[in-house]
Structure 1
Amino acid sequence: MEQKRRRGFGRTALAMMGVILATGAIVAVLTERRSAPKSAPAETGLAHGVDAITSSGELVVLTVRSPTTFRMRGEQITGYEVDLTMAFADELGVEVSYRLFDDIPSLMTAIEAGEGHIAAPGLTQREVREHTDGDPQLIFGPAYKTVSHELVCRRDGNRPRNWDEVSEVSIAVISGSGNEEALERRQAENPELVWRDLPLSSGLQMAERVHDKRFDCAVLDSHSVAIARRLYPELSSVLDLSNDDRQLAWQIAPQSADLMPELTSWFETAHQAGFLSDLDEYYYGHLEEFDYFDLAVFRQRIETRLPDYEAAFREAAEARNLDWTLLASQAYQESHWDPVAKSPTGVRGLMMLTLPTAREVGVSNRLDAFESIDGGATYLDRLYARLPESIVGYDRLWMAIAAYNVGYGHLMDARRLAERQGRDKDKWRVIKTMLPLLTQRKYYSTVRYGYARGYEPVKYVRRIREYDDVLTSEVPRPEQPPFTPQGLERETAEADAGATSPTAGAGVE
């Protein structure tokens, strides 16, 4: 099976972070790989070195399936490691090819044998060495993310209150992982500590086993925990293993050692330009808080309420090149999918439109769920189009959603405050720290539209993103636009011209 992902921008990845996240615009050939005997690496014939990569036009990246590394959303390839490696490939001016492995040992065998140029499974140096024979002289790129070790258990299961009680629970961990190393260190202080190591490729697979009650607890990386709790809300983090954080880094095939200077320079620029901060904001910025009961009710209503309106969300989103699950998530945040919802301030209906806004978007009956959905989508689309052209990608989308909640004028005031402080007014990660300042007189008295409940749009955007994460894991066909080949061609042309759309996806060639 081969799938390709178009590249719709030139060598401007750092300046166009929003384009990367919003369009996924780059070519990717996907190859599935099954486990292979570690003693018999394949002869690949892959050309190595910077010159060979640029001449061939292809960077080969080895990785595993996981929400934190690589996954398919409909026909779109997404993931933290995907966006990171795509941006580096764009800097080299080449396409990127992903080869997926079922387990870490097979992946390490392959990168050691030169079957890829870079391995990006989200591992640390210690984890890689654990899965290789001797010292294969693998080269590690610059560290790009820090994570910690957490013991995760079911809320309703056996949960140790401290490390003296760990002998009473069954614990699982990924074989040879940094988390297992942390357990080994902890065992020196708690000799009764025992665990079972499993040959898995991601923390999400381990989280599923705890959720299914095959083990009481598991040790996961903190970034995996943040995602796992949305997918498996019964999970709870109960203990930290150590005070030592881990740093993730790519592995470079020994045959492509001359990539190291390129990577070092690129990561330094990426860090200074805010690229890594933008990635963190996109994948993890909405996961800072967790409300178990809210998500439990949301999951129930996906089954009981959403089916009545899903077709309308899909239709309204398709007409405006929006992501239907995001539109549905926004409607849930507004009204909990209650078509006759109303508030003391006068907003009403599924999308909670004010009377002036309803008139503006052609809604005659705010309590008609289908009119409300179409009107809300129209209003969001207009806010998106109204924003300054300097705001791109998901930053543009989050700000449009925030403006839907707090008002366009207050959003512009938050941008003015950011500008005064010398910060990037086009980034949501900045604006979400400026909006709460509008509750303080010393700030709101200096801007045009005055006081605003600035904490509300920040919470509003965060919850919508969180609902969207859950919804895309619960419903069939959670694809993002474009929905037709014609839409794909239109979006690619816009990306080539430097334009972006709210949540445009990547297609299949």
Structure 2
Amino acid sequence: LTVIAPYNATTYFIYRGEPLGYEYELLQSFAKDQGLALKMVVVADPKSLFTILNSGEGDIAANRLVPTPENETDVSFTRALYRTAPVLVQQEEPPAKAGKGTEKMLAPGPADQTPEVDIQARLITKPSQLTGKTVTLPEQSPYNRTLVELSDEISGEIYVVEMGALQDEALAQKVAKGEIEFTVMQKNLADLKEAEFKNLKVRPIISKSHSVAWAVRKNSPELMQALNSWIEKKQNGSLFDKLYQKYFIDRRNYLERVESGFLTSTTGKLCAYDDLLKQHANDINWDWRLLASQAFQESRFKPDAHSWAGAAGLLQLMPATARQYGVKNSLDPVDNVQGAVKFLKWLDGFWHERITNDVERLKFVLASYNAGAGHVQDAQRLTEKYGYPTILNRPGSKVRLLSRPRAGELCEPHPRTIRSL
């Protein structure tokens, strides 16, 4: 099941190495229930979603999508995932009061050059006060039509400026910085931006509530039916409420994500130690992302992590191993990674003559790092004794037969998990 989506802080993003997002987690659950693997295809320009979808490169488009008469001619929309309303985002206090969130761009794509504007002190409190004002929207925003209708309703001109490939998050940032006066976005997202940028005010609501849904091609009726049936069923349970709370209501966790510096959708980082891992992955001819995956699996990128067995640091070195490879402080990321890479290099040499295939040998290196080369050799002897091949797709699968099964249980999922990250 291939899903086309942009990176943003609620649809799909990578945080500390893990894929997350309200729509991502729902789609992951749907795919699992259907017995399908989920593949995410990220687009840099959200307005290309429907073009890519209709080209057949994906099955579902996701991006807080609002059905409109214009886009309903191109795609079909599912039942509503939730309902929200369009709200005006404006500046209540000067940029100095915004907080540190204005220092970084929160969405990918080029930032159009915009002149600084004087923000009027008087807040807009009702839609009719937008007469003569300029509202900036993402290109092809569903709220362009909303503002045109509002302009007709109040018999006053509202000027709309569309800005490049920027998403709502980036425009909220521009309002906070005083680069634009107003934008309009979904209220549940605007509430999160108000928590992030302390000088924003999200009011008034400018139109009635609407649905937010997924889109599929018009020639995919079976997928549409499966999605609608699943949404209807799951909305009666706890899944939708739990994920909505997680991504739209829990402001503290939202702020932790966007302020951490490790929201990959905006910074390009997996963790604080990307450069360190890249440097030392070269020492063992690894793709640095594999070493990063191992660090994530071992410690969740926490350099002060300790295990019940005494392993410590970013790559969870045991005390004896740390001493053997000259590590003086396992909690020092540089010291820890240097020692771990020396150990991995030794393990590769240990298995080199026994397993000549590079791909298969890597699995044994990872298993040995986690459980010890001796335990993996014991597992090989046991598999040979019981008539199994000694080189398996999952080298830890027979370690469970050891007299100390706990070590085997720790080892069993590890190499596969690292390689799949």
TM-score, scaled relative to structure 2: 0.53
Give the distance between the partners of 2:10 and 2:25, measured in 1 at CA. Answer: 11
Partner of 1:275: 239
- What is aligned with 1:112? 54
Aligned to 1:146: 83
Q: Does the aligned pair in 2 maintain the 1:116–1:253 contact within 8 Å?
A: no
Tell me if structure 1 keeps the 8 A contact 2:132–2:157.
Answer: no
> Which of 180, 189, 192 is the aligned partner of 2:153?
189
Give the deviation of 1:103 after TM superposition.
2.4
What is the distance in 2 between the residues matched to 1:95 and 1:508? 13
Quote the residue 2:294 is aligned against. 485
Report the residue type matching 1:93 in the other structure: G
Q: Which residue of 2 aligns with 1:348?
A: none
1:197, CA displacement in angstroms? Answer: 3.3
Q: Which residue of 1 aligns with 2:170?
A: 205
SS at match of 2:63: coil
* Residues in 2 aligned to 1:192 and 1:91: alpha-carbon distance in whole angstroms: 51
| Structure of greater relative contact order (alpha carbons < 8 Å, 6+ residues apart) | 1
Task: Give secondary structure in 2 for the equivalent of 1:121.
Answer: strand
Contact 1:153/1:216 (8 A) holds in 2: yes
Q: Shift in Å at residue 107 of structure 1? A: 1.2
Counterpart CA distance in 1 for 2:45 and 2:153 is: 31
Note if 1:219 corresponds to 2:184. Answer: yes
The residue aligned with 1:228 is 193
TM-aligned CA deviation for residue 268 of structure 1: 1.8
Mapped pair 1:83 → 2:25? yes
The aligned residue for residue 32 of structure 1 is: none
Does 2:31 align with 1:66?
A: no
1:154 and 1:283 map into 2 onto residues whose CA distance is: 24
Relative distance call for 1:507 and 1:286 in structure 2 (3 A) is farther
**Uncovered stretches (5+) of structure 2, i.e. residues with no partner:** 95-121, 264-290, 301-405, 410-416
Q: Of 200, 206, 212, which residue of structure 2 is paired with 1:248?
A: 212
Letter aligned with residue 178 of structure 1: P
In structure 2, the residue matched to 1:358 is: none
Give a deviation string over 1:108-164, Cα, whole Å, max 9, x none.
Answer: 1111222110001111221xxxxx988755222111111111111111266324334
**Aligned pair in 2 of structure 1 residues 165, 125: CA closer, same or farther (>3 Å)?**
closer
CA distance in 2, matches of 1:467, 1:237: 21
Task: Mark the CA change 1:264 to 1:468 in structure 2 (over 3 Å): closer, same or farther.
Answer: closer
Q: Specify the SS of the correspondent of 1:225.
A: helix
Counterpart of 1:178 in structure 2 is 142
Q: State the structure with more CA Rg.
A: 2
2: CA distance, partners of 1:506 / 1:267: 32
Amino acid at match of 2:169: L
Query: In structure 1, what is the Cα distance between the partners aligned to 2:129 and 2:230?
Result: 46
| CA deviation after TM superposition for structure 1 residue 195, in Å | 2.6
After superposition, the Cα gap between the structure-2 partners of 1:489 and 1:173, relative to the gap in structure 1 and judged at 3 Å, is same
Contact in 2 for aligned 1:170/1:217 (Cα 8 Å):
yes
Listed as ranges, the matches of 1:70-469 within 5 Å are 70-126=12-68, 138-156=75-93, 159-167=123-131, 169-198=133-162, 199-200=164-165, 202-242=167-207, 244-287=208-251
Partner of 1:24: none
Deviation digits for residues 443-472 of structure 1 (CA, Å, limit 9, x no counterpart): xxxxxxxxxxxxxxxxxxxx5775565446
Partners of 2:262 and 2:248 in 1: how far apart?
16
* Aligned partner letter, 2:143: N
* Cα displacement string for residues 192-240 of structure 1 (whole angstroms, at most 9, x for unaligned residues): 3323332435311221221222211111111210221233222111311
**3-state SS in 2 of match to 1:102:** coil
Which consecutive unaligned segments of at least 5 residues does structure 1 have? 1-58, 127-131, 288-462, 475-481, 498-504
CA deviations over 1:284-327 (Å, ceiling 9, x no partner): 2324xxxxxxxxxxxxxxxxxxxxxxxxxxxxxxxxxxxxxxxx
1:237 match: secondary structure: strand
CA shift, 1:486, in A, is: 6.8
Decide whether the 8 Å contact of 2:133 with 2:159 is kept in 1: no
TM-score (structure 1 length as normaliser): 0.44
In structure 1, C-alpha distance between the alignment counterparts of 2:211 and 2:200, rounded to whole Å: 24
Task: Determine if contact 1:159/1:216 at 8 Å carries over to the other structure.
Answer: no
Q: Provide the aligned length of Structure 1 versus Structure 2.
A: 252
Secondary structure of the structure 1 residue equivalent to 2:90: strand
Indicate how the Cα distance of structure 1 residues 165 and 66 shifts in structure 2: closer, same or farther if over 3 A, else same.
same
Question: SS state of the match for residue 198, structure 2?
Answer: coil
Do the aligned partners of residues 472 and 278 (structure 1) sit closer, same or farther apart at CA in structure 2, a change above 3 Å counting?
A: farther
**Distance in 2 of aligned mates of 1:147 and 1:247:** 7
Name the Cα RMSD after superposition: 3.3
Q: Is the 8 A contact 1:230 1:469 kept in 2?
A: no
* Cα contact 1:61–1:116 (8 A) shared by 2: yes
Cα distance in 2 for partners of 1:230, 1:134 equals 31
